[in-house]
Amino acid sequence: MPRRTWTQGTFEQLLAGDETGTAATRAPASIPRRRLPQAHPQQRNETARQAPEPPLPDLIELKRMPGPNSMRFLIAHGLLEPLDPSCSYLHERAGGIFGRASIVTPLLPYGAAASNGLAHWVWTGGAFPPYIDIISSSHFRTPVHGHIIRVHNRRLPTEHMMKLGDLWTTSPLRTACDLACEPPGRTGEDGKLAGLHTLMERYQVSCGACLNLLADNPRWPGHSLGIEAFQTLRRIL
C-alpha cells in the first residue's frame, strides 16, 4: 500500500472539515475528522450581554450629552450635581471618599494638591465648595467650571499630606488647622465651627492635637483665629 504524504495544508483542510480532498489528502479511517467548535447564536448573544460596560467618566460634560435639557433632567432628579451649566458629577460617586477624590482630580492643575475647603469636601462631602483651594507654587487665573482657584503657596511636611487614588490632599489634621485659621465664610462662625466638628469627629482629630500643631507653627497666617476656634470647640465639646 503506497505511503500517503501529509502536509500542513492537509491538516488545515481536516480541521476545517474539508470532505472534497483526493485520496492523497483524505484522512484515513483511523483519524476522525474534527470541526472547530462553533458558538450557538444564543450563547453569542449571552456573551455580548455579559460584556462589561465602560465606566462612567468622573465629570459629565454637556458636550457629551444630547443637549442641555438632558443634563437639567438628570440634575432635577438628583442623579447629577452641577459644577456649572456645562459640567456635573455623579451624585452617587460623591458618596465616598475615593469617589470624591476622583471627582476633584481632573479639576486640579498638574502637580497641585487639594487643601482647605476643597480638602474638607473630599474628607466629609456635602455641598461642593465655592472655591478650588490648592497647594501650588504657580498662579492660576482661569476659573475651572465656574470655580475660582485659590492658591496656597506652602511647603508642607510629608506627614501633613495623604494620597487618595491619584489625588494628593492635606490630612484631616492639617485640613482642620487650615480651616480654623481662615476667617468665617458665608456660613458665619457657627458654620465654620460645625464644619470643623464634623471633620474632627469623623477622623478622630482632637482639639489638643490641633492646638499643639498651631503651637509648633506660630507664624501661620490666621494663627490667632485658629487658636480661638479650637479653644471654643474644646469648651463646647
What SS3 class is residue 38?
A: coil
Cβ within 8 Å of residue 198, ≥6 positions away: 124
The residue written with cell numbers 451624585 in the block is: 91
pTM of the model: 0.77
Q: How confident is the model over 73-132, as pLDDT tens digits?
A: 999 999 999 999 999 999 999 999 999 999 999 999 999 999 999 999 999 999 999 999
Range of the domain at 219: 171-237
3-state helix, strand, coil in the chain (%, to 5): 45, 15, 40
Whose cell is 472655591? That residue is 131
Cα atoms in the 13 Å half-sphere on the side-chain side of 135: 20
Distance CA 142, CA 59 (A): 18
Distance CA(145)–CA(82), nearest Å, equals 9
Instruction: Classify residue 41: in a domain, yes or no.
Output: no
Say if residue 163's pLDDT is above 90. Answer: yes
**Residue 206 covered by a domain:** yes
> How many domains is the chain built from?
1
Residue 220 resides in a domain: yes
Residue 114 lies in a domain: no
Inside any domain, residue 105: no
Please state, as a whole number, how many other Cβ atoms lie within 10 Å of the Cβ of residue 109. Answer: 14
pLDDT single digits (tens) 24-66: 444 444 445 555 556 555 655 555 556 566 777 889 999 989 9
Residue 228 in domain: yes
